[in-house]
Structure 1
Amino acid sequence: MSLRTSLHIDGMTCSACTAAVEDCLRQIDGVEAVQVALITEEALVEHSHAVPASALQHAVEDIGFGARVIASEDAATEMRTSYITIGGMTCSSCVNAVTDALKKVDGVQAVQVSLLTEQATVTHTCEASRLCEAVEDCGFEANLLETKNEQAINDNESLALKIYGMTCSNCSNSIENAVMKLDGVVSCQVALATEEARIVYDTNRTGIRKIMEVIEDCGFDAILNSNLDSASQLDLLLKVRDVAYWRQTFLKMVAFGFPIFFRHHIWPLMAMILHVHWTPIVLYHGLFLETLLEFCLGSYIQFWLARRFYINSYKAIRHRNGTMDLLICVSTTTVYVYSTCSILNAIFHDSQKPASVMFDTSAMLFIFVSLGKWIESKAKGNTSTALSKLLSLTPSMCTILENPDDLNSPQKEISTDLLQKNDVVVLHPGGKVPADGECIYGSSEVDEALLTGESLPVVKRIGSKLYGGSINVASPLYMRVEVIGEKTHLSQIVKLVRDAQITKAPVQKFADVIAGKFVITILVLSLLTFIFWCVYIFCLPADKVPAYFVDSDTGNVVFSRILQIAISVVVVACPCALGLAAPTAVMVGTGVGATNGILIKGADILEKASGINCVVFDKTGTITTGKMRVSNYHFIGDMDEKLVWSIVHAIEHDSEHPVGKALVLGASARTSLLAVEVTKVHNIVGLGLEAQTRLDGQDYNVAIGNDQLMKERKIDNLADFLDCCTHLNNPHISTFSHILVNDKYIGYVELADTVKSDASGTVSALIDRGFAVAMVTGDNVQTARAVAQAVGIPLMNVFAQAQPDDKLRVVDQMQKHGLKVAFVGDGINDAPALIQADLGMTIATGTDIAIEAADVVLLSSVQPDDDDDGIALQEYGRKDGTAGILAALDISQRTFRSIKVNFVLAVVYNLIMLPIAMGLLIIPCGLTMNPMIASAAMACSSVSVVFNSLRLKSWKMPVLDNIRVAEERVEWADDQVLSSMDVEKMDVIDSKRASWHSRLLSRFKSPYERLF
């Protein structure tokens, strides 16, 4: 924990004085943050324990101000998250260098750096500017996008403004005072030096436009200060800048390098064919015109067009890192120095023929490398297509009503960034929804394809929820804004996808370890290769020297050819392919998943999902729709039916459980309700509710829940309850809520649920693909039986009447028996099992807790709307969510397979090419690899890895046969449904049995498929 010291400072007269004090204090090692106030003559300094408060005082006094320590105490560390764009990274070695530099900064808790998105996410307590300084010290460009306070992330909205017109500290103070007077503003900090304001506010009480109006009323101009708007993010993701740079560089290198290549390789061939004799033009003793031209063109290419390689190499050497740029610079510089020395030697000895130079080698190296970089940059941009589409969904402008309470009020167009809660947005046909909200007027169809993967438009009417990024297809709609900024559905999806793409798969650690040692290893191999061939050739008799090293005209050994072999070793090596193997596949795989309604929360999740062999389903909301409605009820005794419904409605009114919601809707639709007072409610997880209510001075102790809850309570008319249970003891999909009032059984309410339309097809496909399939539910045995029969889950794999801890225990026992378990659930009671499972999957219509606990979130469920009388109607889309389970496992397995293939390509390439470049084939075959060929091969290796990852873009959702399972697949026997949590009785072998054609095809797997 750091210290927070307050200093009183005498002698400050203007903002220049405060700036001088701030600079002075920030230069002290160990100081994390400094704030100096001119009006109060105070400085607040956060620093490490290694810096005494007296040191701060002396530092201020040394620059001519008086200072004394007011207080020094432990600072309450405030965790913040900063997002930084980083320019100049080329391979995983660069990523490692940036990561290490950021981790060394005091106060940094976690660091994630992505090579492809060129972004870093840092969790820290120190000042954000120190992070950029650490990155820049490594030799990379750094731009701080934003810093978020964790509390602000959770509760409020953060706003950054650029303010013009401030001249002194009084201006900044007046702005702070005016803004802080607004209801709902949590904090306001205005920096005079940078002309920036950072404001945290409660979106429920105020908004952006109101804040900006207050600032403008103070006499200043304010605009949104976005360090990286959506357009810039799109440019960055699509590698627009890099693509343009490498394209121009390649074309320039071709223009200046082709004459050199023509002179060395095309002109001699043409002269021989055309029998043309060319006499070199001598400019000076030993210096020829063609040599001078090659030197000039080669120098321009080497030190101007290729300057970026040298800049990056200098940065790498400065921080003791090895990169691909360093290998290229070492090889081309060696060639350039050799060629220059040859020219000087020819001049010194007054040579009668042009010097032996290799400018063509370095020129062609740069041409091939820049071509490879150009293609690679374009391919990298294509890997982020999915995220780019998501970013482009939010419109830049939108139309709102000037008076949100009057639908006939004038309309005005504003920036989407200026939207506030409760604004009424007018959505014209073809327009994009700018934020999340509720339809208050009109009906239309809305395209939510990029948000949920659902291809068919969804009908929206008054009361329907609208999500930012969706497109209004048919008629005008009026929407009241409910959620803005980074809390919208679209923003959460973008954040989740970006976070997933920035994380590293565990297998990437293998590449990072190799990349860290790769460059120095290659340089050593190149040196050893050069030494070996020098020793080997000069120790052999002249007639035994391989022909490759002998000049056919003179019969002398050509030293430059030994040098070419050493250069080929440096050039052909490619650490970039290793560094791109995992990130490119992860970016494409997670992006394709997101466009199909499958959000995978990290690269490590892909690796987990690839090993899953058992899928465990919750029932309600997962296999069934979870949108229950009252289909029947039976009340007994003399208690008034209206009173029963009123008590049920009052107790369940605030429930978030599907059963409770259905009871509330059913009660509201069937009678006029009495004003029942609820004095106490106790939720019994997995069983139901107990409550104390009162009406007209009469107290009612009520219990509402399943039959297990009833069995644990005293029932005066037990025979009535048992008769009802006997009547209900048949297979069905309905759920029953029993009602007990003052220890007297009143009756039950039957809640109808529906099996999702794609559930049986999903279960059949999972079984056919070799997955064990099971179901764990808190519902009764009869309901569990009916659902199992409907979808085809083997009864021996069904666990009924399971409490939350039972679900966790089932998953744990399965794991102990060697199964890799994916658990699919959507409720609060599923959270423990979701966390325990090897892979947690949930449907986005589930609770926030379930979504937070899950590793994979499925967006493909279509939420039903409510009709006018309050009874839920089921509206199904093409898929109801369970199909996404199979799709998520499939895309995860495909992506992880691509990662492994990429690693194989990268490793095999280096294992094959390096020995060839080192001259392994010279002695037996007389073959070797020219540096130009080596550079082309090196460029192809990186491009091949990226293009292999891009193959994932052709992935399609698995097509399910929407079949019903035959009745004979299930035999009803009381001992087959496991209400006890005995995993050993699971019919795992039976559930893993594949179809006959699947088993037949598996016998003819290719060696490639068997490897993976």
Structure 2
Amino acid sequence: REPLLSQSESDGGEAGQARGGQAIGGGAVGGQRAAAAASSALTLRVEGMTCGRCTASVEKALLALPGVRSAKVDLELGQAAVWGDVAAADAVAAVEATGRDARVLSAPTAPSALLSAGATAGKEDPPDTTLHVEGMSCSKCTDSVRRALLALPGVDSAQVDLDSKEARVWGNASADALIEACESTGKLATLVPAQGAAVEGARIAEGKSRAKYLAQQQDSDLSCTWLKVPDMECNGCAEKIERVLQGVEGVAEAEVLLDSHLAYISHAEGTSSEAELISAVRALGYSPRVASEEEVEAASASSRRSLNEGEAPPASQMVVLQINGMSCAACAAKVEGSLRALRGVNKASISLLAHSGRVEYEPRRVDVPAMVEAIHNIGYDAHPRGGTADSNMLAPEVQSDESLEWRDRFVGSLFITVPMMLFSMVLPHTPLGAALAQPLFPGISWRVAALWLLATPMQVIFGGRFYLSAFAALRHCVTNMDTLVALGTSVAYGFSVLTVVVNIFSKERDRDDQQCFEMAAMLITFILLGKFLEASAKRKTTEAVSRLLSLQPQKALLCSCITELDREPREVPAATLVKGDVFKVLPGRQVVVDGVVLRGRSEVDESMLSGEPLPVLKQEKDNVTGGTINGNGVLWVLATAKTTDGTLAHIMQVVSDAQHRKPQVQAFADRIARYFVPTALLVSLLTFFGWSARAAFGGVPQSYLDASHVASPYLLAVYFGCATLVVACPCALGLATPTAVMVSCGVSAQRGILLKGGDVLEKSAKVSAVLFDKTGTLTTGRPAVQLTKSWRPSLKSSELLRLAACAERASDHPIAGAIVSAAGADALTVEPLNFTQTPGGGIDCCVEGARLLLGNRAWMSEHGLRPSAAQEAEVAAHEAKGSTVVLAAMQKECKDARASAHGMDAHDGSGGALVLSGIIVLADELKPDAAEVVAYLRRRGTVVWMVSGDNQTTANFVAKQAGVDPGCVAAGITPVGKLDVVKRLKAEGHVVAFVGDGINDAPALAAADVGMAMGSGMDVAIETADVVLMRPLLQDVVTCFDIARVAMNRIRINFVWAFGYNAIGVPLAAGVFYPEFDLPPMFAGAAMALSSVSVVCSSLLIRTYKPPSIGHGSRNQTTC
């Protein structure tokens, strides 16, 4: 046994190295030692502990104290170790409250196991910053680096590992300061980014420090040059530039940063001048220049902010576990309960259909191995799934394998069951019957011996799976459906063996017909048949998911560079593509990943995304989506995402995750399933003993025995007991919701509607109020020029639009883009001079020798320009219709660029006074289906609101066009105002859905019962929403609500069937209505399995869904 904490550790966590300078336990122990550095490490002597329950109660009491991060109790040594900010007196009091005596040890000792526990606890505090340090060769190096880090203000603790060449630092010191400290010892340090964080800042920092390091290590001085290459667009460009720079004489190292369009070069002083480096890059066809310090620092700071944000560990994390061995809803309920019982698990959702669990947990309090162990402890196998989208899907091949396994078992069982049926029911009534009735030896006939011989391998081989599962469950004091099956078949087989043995010893053959070997065999066969049908039906529920997986291409044609598209591409695995790669899409092939078309023209089938069968024309600068199918043309595409981050991956992830978000009705079913199997066992025992007691007292008439073809009333008790055991089935309860959710989400995804869970389905079916954002939701979100009118007779309207477009091409405002688009590319003949832009006002510039002002009335007033009464009335009339009016003012002459070049003022007014010359009217058009959708929702009794940050006049006009009641319009409101409207409607008792697309909609989307984001919207809106509409069609809002209603109705039907089946089947199997009605055990087993099949088939009916017609006069019926 070793000391729990060495003196150096307790003084500040400085025992980071041992045995050759290597860190003990890596990052895990480092986290513990950081915790020890920041807070007290306390060891208590605890008297009075006698068992594991004692240690558990003490540990629980210590963990409940504020500030305690981890605690471990050792029974053998009678000690407790506590990590955290806690007073010794409080810890002693907490232990004494459990009925034990405690005191503080002045020289704490504990088993090495406690050190391991501390290491585990260390995972609670990952380092705030991790650096990769080059140049360390021994323990002295690590010590010097560590001392330099600890000397910095803000560093609480530091650990340096020689093997991994990493320095892990706890504290709030900046990354730059830490890197400088490491470099002060003559080592090279670079920031290690957290997973998923941007790495550009780290690479920029690495470029700076690497040049500095090389300068320190070499006799000749090195200098660093940064180049800006703005026209570098792809990874191929970056590789070419890097190669040519590395080939320049005197260059020690060169690296290109694609995202920042920067290249840094370390080169010897006096060689490789900036001109030579620029010339080398320009020879490749690019336009490099020396980067300014501001550009380098801006790129570094921006990426470092992203990096530092990524380093902060989230308060909670999510993991998906593959769970094998679950056979019914009771299994899923027990696994879910075991996970939720773990300290640190916030949420756990188990999908019986997917054989998986989705767990939200706090990494500071629990880790994945602890979850896996908890599942193992109740008899199931578990392991974490991969992190990619498709790895989290319900793999179709797994479902297929399960179906084939049950099929093979069923077919194999027939080779035993059919001969047994012949021996039992057919051959006794043929001439062979007398021969089979002859005794093999006293007490047993040839027929019974044959049945026994066939029944035994049937139990072992084909019933073995049920026995193994039941035994594993019983070992952990739990029960499941396999327990019922195993008990039912065992009772039938065991009773038969007992009867035969008694006959042999008594040498009587009068009870020859009292065995029921064939009943046990038929029971297994019928259950196997039901399992095969159930697995086949479950596989169909995932067909939509399977089709999504099949859309992901496996190969890609990678082009070497954007400037070499005509060269032959090479075939690579699609998974290797990254952002910035260029790939070629041949006719009829799938687009590998999201991207932008660089060259080519083709029609692309986007039905997987939009549900629309007509292909969409794609040409240069158009966006394409991974998984869509190219038509007859060839496209060259620049990847804008990795295959795991694209639209298709996002769709697959949402559909996969949906099955783990359960509606409330499923929680009720889970509670029932938790007690279902014990209840079924109790009912079965009551049935058996009830009929046995009746038989003992002579209460079973001969007619009952004749009706069942049994020779003994006790056999009738076995008959009904077995039937009751196997007919009770929690599987249908467990499958009622997930199958319907899976099919509904698959059908929705095929129509471009991504539902993020079963709970979303439930809420969507109850929506009573819908709020639409105006811009981009009810309207197209893209202003378009409706009218251009000149107020000057000498100026044509078309010429006014052309001059305005030339001026606006220097602006990035949406209105500017609309004006430029309306004029057309051919009209843009000149660049504006002396361009200035005032936010909220307008622009001022010189075009073709004339000064031109474009803006609103306030902007014109600032320049002394006021419209006449007639002009003012015209502008007001357009604004009353919801249009935006841009006023134009022109000056006949203006000093040209040459005057400006000589320092003369181009706006000195010498060309004449500015005059209002006309107006350009723009409008954000209503979406074509907006009015019909609003009318449909109002006919269904749904309250429809429109919210907008626009002025009241414009909002009222759009609302009138859309058919929204004037009293349900909220205009001129901020994002907080939209949130307030949502809260007010919820307070009135409405179930609220909010439909939006922008960042300003995110608060309302999050607060609404159902947040719906248009797929063309901002990422933050899509992440916040519960439903993502991939198409810009508002009709999909109606379809979403309708699918939800259909799905919830189907779930209710499934539950009615599942409960009704058990409510009718159990009394029948127990013989309540005997002899008029009964359910033999073999048919009870078949009914048990077929109940699940019926529920799954019921859910599959959702696949026939047809969306409602929203046109006026339609019957508004949904087909399913």
User: 2:492 touches 2:519 (CA, 8 Å); kept in 1?
Assistant: yes
Please tell me the residue identity of whatever aligns with 1:140.
Y
1:319 aligns with 2:473: no
* Superposition pairs of residues 373-392 of structure 1, within 5 angstroms: 373-392=531-550
Q: Report the counterpart of residue 500 of structure 2 in structure 1.
A: 343
Closer, same or farther: CA 426–886 of 1 in aligned 2, 3 Å? same
The aligned residue for residue 496 of structure 1 is 654
- Answer yes or no: is 1:287 the counterpart of 2:444: yes
Q: Secondary structure at the match of 2:1106?
A: coil
Partner of 1:605: 760
Cα 1:101–1:556 change in 2 (3 A) is closer
- For residues 800 and 764 of structure 1, the distance between their equivalents in structure 2, rounded to whole angstroms, comes to 21
Q: Is the 8 A contact 2:578 2:643 kept in 1?
A: no
Aligned to 2:49: none
Residue-by-residue CA offset, 1:922-970 (whole Å, 9 max, x unaligned): 2xx5432211121121112111100000000011233443x7xxxxxxx
- The structural deviation recorded for 1:97 is 2.7
Give the one of 512, 515, 525 matched to 2:670: 512
- Residue 919 of structure 1 corresponds to 1071
Tell me, what secondary structure is at the counterpart of 2:469?
helix
Residue identity in the other structure for 1:497: V
8 A Cα contact 2:788 2:801, kept in partner: no
Q: Distance in 2 between matches of 1:799 and 1:518?
A: 52
Instruction: Specify which of 883, 889, 914 is matched with residue 735 of structure 1.
Output: 883
For residues 785-833 of structure 1, what are the alpha-carbon distances to aligned partners after superposition, in whole Å with 9 as ceiling and x for unaligned?
Answer: 5544544444454444444344333333333444333222222333333
Find the counterpart in structure 2 of residue 896 from structure 1. Answer: 1048
Aligned length: 822
Query: Which residue of structure 2 aligns with residue 458 of structure 1?
Result: 616
The corresponding residue for 2:301 is: none
Q: Which moved more, 1:486-495 or 1:79-88?
A: 79-88
1:696-740 CA distance string (max 9 Å, x none): 9xxx9x9977x9x999x9997677699536643368765315679
- Going from structure 1 to structure 2, the CA distance change for 1:660 and 1:802 (only over 3 Å counts) comes to farther
Q: What are the superposed Cα offsets for residues 161-189 of structure 1, whole Å, 9 maximum, x if unpaired?
A: xxxxxxxxxxxxxxxxxxxxxxxxxxxxx
Residue 468 of structure 1 pairs with residue 618 of structure 2: no
SS in structure 2 of the partner of residue 439 of structure 1: strand
Alignment-derived partner of residue 422 in structure 1: 580
Per-residue deviation, 1:782: 4.9
Partner of 1:191: none
Query: Within 1, Cα distance between the matches of 2:1018 and 2:985?
Result: 25
Query: In structure 1, what is the Cα distance between the partners aligned to 2:1034 and 2:557?
Result: 37
Using the alignment, how far apart are the partners of 1:403 and 1:730 within structure 2? 50
Distance 1:996 1:641 in 2: 44
Q: Which residue among 881, 903, 909 is the counterpart of 2:1061? A: 909
Question: 102, 126, 150: which is aligned to 2:339?
Answer: 102
Cα distance in 2 for partners of 1:553, 1:427 equals 70
Distance 1:445 1:505 in 2: 41
Question: One-letter code of the match for 1:113?
Answer: I
CA separation of 1:463 and 1:469: change in aligned 2, threshold 3 A: same
For residue 349 of structure 1, report the CA deviation from its aligned partner: 0.2
Tell me the CA shift for residue 400 of structure 1.
Answer: 1.8
Residue aligned with 1:263, SS: helix
Q: Say if 1:424 and 1:480, in contact at 8 Å, map to a contact too.
A: yes
Instruction: Pick the aligned partner of 1:233 from 370, 377, 395.
Output: 395
Distance 2:13 2:916 in 1: 68
* 1:914 Cα offset (Å): 1.4
Which amino acid letter does the alignment assign opposite residue 384 of structure 2? L
Note the C-alpha offset of 1:895: 0.5
Aligned partner of 2:270 in structure 1 is none
3-state SS in 1 of match to 2:922: strand
Alignment correspondent of 1:565: 720
User: Secondary structure in 1 aligned to 2:376?
Assistant: helix
Structure 1 counterpart of 2:1012, one-letter code: M
Q: Tell me how far apart the structure 1 counterparts of residues 170 and 456 of structure 2 sit (CA, whole Å).
A: 59
Partners of 1:31 and 1:47 within 8 A in 2: no
The amino acid that maps onto 2:418 is: F
2:392–2:656 CA contact under 8 A, matched in 1:
no
User: How far apart, in 1, do the equivalents of 2:801 and 2:929 lie?
Assistant: 38
Where does 1:826-975 land on structure 2 (aligned, <5 Å)? Answer: 826-861=997-1032, 881-922=1033-1074, 926-961=1076-1111
TM-score for the superposition, normalised by structure 1: 0.72
Q: Does 1:145 align with 2:396?
A: no
1:259 aligns with 2:432: no
Looking at structure 2, the residues matched to 600 and 535 of structure 1 have their Cα atoms a distance apart, in angstroms, of 56
1:431, 1:472 within 8 Å by CA — same for their partners in 2? yes
In 2, the alpha carbon distance for the partners of 1:83 and 1:530 equals 43
Which amino acid counterpart does residue 329 of structure 2 have in structure 1?
Answer: S
- Give the aligned residue type for 1:48: S
Provide the TM-score with structure 2 as the length reference: 0.66
State the distance in 1 between where 2:498 and 2:317 align: 56
SS at match of 2:925: coil
Opposite residue 242 of structure 1, the aligned amino acid is E
Q: Please state how far the C-alpha of 1:132 moved relative to its aligned partner.
A: 3.4
* Aligned pairs for 1:406-805 within 5 A: 406-539=564-697, 542=698, 545-547=700-702, 549-550=704-705, 558-632=713-787, 653=812, 659=815, 661-662=817-818, 672-674=830-832, 689=840, 724=872, 727-729=875-877, 735-736=883-884, 749-805=920-976
Structure 2 unaligned spans of 5+? 1-8, 36-67, 73-80, 84-107, 117-138, 147-156, 160-168, 172-311, 795-799, 890-906, 908-913
C-alpha spacing 1:691/1:733, structure 2 compared with 1 (3 Å): closer
Q: 1:838 to 1:108 in 2, by over 3 A?
A: closer
Task: Tell me how far 1:904 sits from its aligned partner.
Answer: 0.7
Out of 729-738 and 346-355, give the one that drifted further. 729-738
SS in 1 for 2:774: coil
- Contact persistence 1:404–1:422 (CA under 8 A): no
Whichever residue aligns with residue 146 of structure 1, its letter is G
Tell me which moved more, 847-856 or 457-466. Answer: 847-856
Separation (CA, whole Å) in 1 of partners of 2:953 and 2:1034: 22
The farther-off stretch of 801-810 and 86-95 is 801-810
CA 290–636 in structure 1, closer or farther in 2 if over 3 Å, else same: same
Query: Structure 1 pair 94/693, CA: closer, same or farther in 2 (3 Å)?
Result: farther
- Give the match for residue 372 of structure 2: 132
Structure 1 residue 559: Cα displacement: 0.5
| Cα distance per residue 1:473-523 (max 9 Å; x no partner) | 111111111211321011111111111122211110011100000000111
Q: Secondary structure at 1:483's aligned position in 2?
A: coil
Distance 1:833 1:229 in 2: 30
Task: Note the C-alpha offset of 1:439.
Answer: 0.8
Query: Aligned partners of 2:843 and 2:980: how far apart in 1?
Result: 33
- What is the aligned partner in structure 2 of residue 244 from structure 1? 404
Q: Give the Cα separation in 2 of the matches to 1:552 and 1:84.
A: 51
For residues 6-56 of structure 1, give each alpha carbon's deviation from its aligned partner in whole angstroms, at most 9, with x where no partner exists: 75565579xxx99xx869x99xxx9999xxxxxxxxxxxx99343568778
- The superposition leaves residues 612-641 of structure 1 with CA deviations (integer Å, 9 ceiling, x where unpaired) of 233332232223222222334579999x99
**Residue aligning to 1:163:** none
Q: Tell whether the 8 Å contact from 1:549 to 1:562 is kept in structure 2 after alignment.
A: no
Question: Do 1:32 and 1:127's aligned partners in 2 also have CA atoms closer than 8 Å?
Answer: no
Q: Distance in 2 between matches of 1:290 and 1:400?
A: 72
- Structure with bigger RCO (C-alpha 8 Å, 6+ apart): 1
- Distance in 2 between the 1:581 and 1:286 partners? 50
